[in-house]
Amino acid sequence: MIIPYGWSRSLQRDFEPFAAHGLVPGRVIVQQRGLYRLVTEAGETEARLSGRFRHDAADGGHPVTGDWAALQPGEGMALIQALLPRRTAFLRREAGTGGGLQVVAANVDVALIALSLNADLNLRRLERYLAATYESGAAPVVVLTKADACADVEAALAAVYRIAGDAPVIAVSALTGDGMRALDAQLEPRRTAVLLGSSGAGKSTLVNALAGRELMATAAIRANDDKGRHTTTHRELIALPSGALILDTPGMRELGLVDAEAGVATAFAGVEAEVEALAGTCRFKDCAHDAEPGCAVQAALGDGRLDPARFESWRKLQRELAHERLKEDPLARKATQREWIAVMKSARVHMKDKRKIE
């Protein structure tokens, strides 16, 4: 029963210490409001967290859809006692000031990044999803939905190709079936895919098309702004007729990156390589590539050799990650504060000396 859901020899080895205590393995297929449904060798079962696990689990350590867990069977309701190590984890920082860490999906092999080919096509959002996917350890596939409603699919594809790098890009229409065979080829038996994207991107419609039946509720996008409404309110792992597994997620318009330096570097590998090559010809060795005279990077931005939008997006994500590090690292925050204090003292001394001269 669990082999079709990705159970493997390596998972069996990881589970041996739990088996010695009479626990059984199961994979979380539904997570909703503190209750879980898992698939086990004996079939599906409802479960909740044990008191100890609920108390001891670290931030982001509670089960999410896709996790493998060690269960204590019970009458009607099993207890989740522990999680097996995650192979991959898709993380985000929840929106708002002081947003906590959220694990969106675990043990995912492929991330299908869904973007609707309408007025809400957002290339900057795509960059964020790519960075988060690379950081998670999953392989990204960019899925451009609603191709039947797009006047110029080729132009949209060209714009996305410039950002996607080595990630496959597939334009699909669940309505006409165009591109669905190419998408299905990206999904392999016993491997898990997660659908990511904002509301209205057509994720639930894609799940229904891949499954060949109505599994997920869908809703039309709003006519006034081409943006969607939330239809998926929970995360569910679904076994497709092909043997592949797919996980739909609620729409995420905000995606705060978490410790994603490597992911950003991979998503912007071309930009970083260009900037590094240009930086060697800047007039100053410590050039910040902002407004310094003789900056080769600024010159390349001005004459079109370097894409200004991509460059600014890269810098913005780097600043965001640096800000997150300062919030999480008290020592780094204090060091930065000391630097600013030194700068302000120096500025005050300079102003005093200037007034004396005047």
What is the average pLDDT across 176-190? 94
Name the least confident of 53-62, 79-88, 182-191.
Answer: 53-62
Element (H, E) at 337: helix 330-357
For 261-357, CATH gives 1.10.40.50
What is the average pLDDT across 175-199? 92
Domain boundaries, the chain: 3-83, 89-248, 261-357
DSSP 8-state symbol, 65: T
Q: Which two tokens stand for residue 267?
A: 């998503």
Q: Are 174 and 205 in contact (CB under 8 A)?
A: yes
Q: Does domain 3-83 have CATH number 1.10.10.10?
A: no
User: Parallel, antiparallel, or unpaired: how do β-strands 192-196 and 110-116 relate?
Assistant: parallel
What is the average pLDDT across 216-236? 52
For the range 311-320, what are the long-range contacts, defined as Cβ-Cβ under 8 Å and sequence gap of 24 or more? 311/271, 311/275, 313/124, 313/127, 313/268, 314/264, 314/268, 314/271, 314/272, 317/127, 317/128, 317/131, 317/257, 317/260, 317/264, 317/268, 318/264, 320/256, 320/257
| Distance in angstroms (rounded) separating the CA atoms of residues 345 and 159 | 48
Place of tokens 């390589």: 273
Give Cβ neighbours of residue 274 (< 8 Å, ≥ 6 apart).
Answer: 300, 305, 306
Backbone angles phi and psi of 255, in degrees to 5: -135, 95
Among candidate residues 34, 33, 32, 74, the one with its CA nearest the CA of residue 53: 34
Q: Which two tokens stand for residue 55?
A: 């108390």
| Distance in angstroms (rounded) separating the CA atoms of residues 256 and 249 | 16
pLDDT in tens, 132-157: 999 999 999 999 999 998 889 999 99
Among candidate residues 24, 81, 31, the one with its CA nearest the CA of residue 51: 81
pLDDT in tens, 13-55: 999 999 999 999 999 999 887 799 999 999 999 999 999 998 8
Q: Which residue has the higher pLDDT, 25 or 204?
A: 25
Look at the domain 89-248 and name its fold. Answer: Rossmann fold (3.40.50)
Backbone angles phi and psi of 217, in degrees to 5: -70, 145
What's the alpha-carbon Rg for the chain, to the nearest Å?
24
pTM of the model: 0.82
Q: Are 63 and 49 in contact (CB under 8 A)?
A: yes
What 3-state class would DSSP assign to 124?
helix
The total number of residues shown for the chain amounts to 358
Checking if the pLDDT of 335 tops 60, the result is no
What is the average pLDDT across 282-304? 93
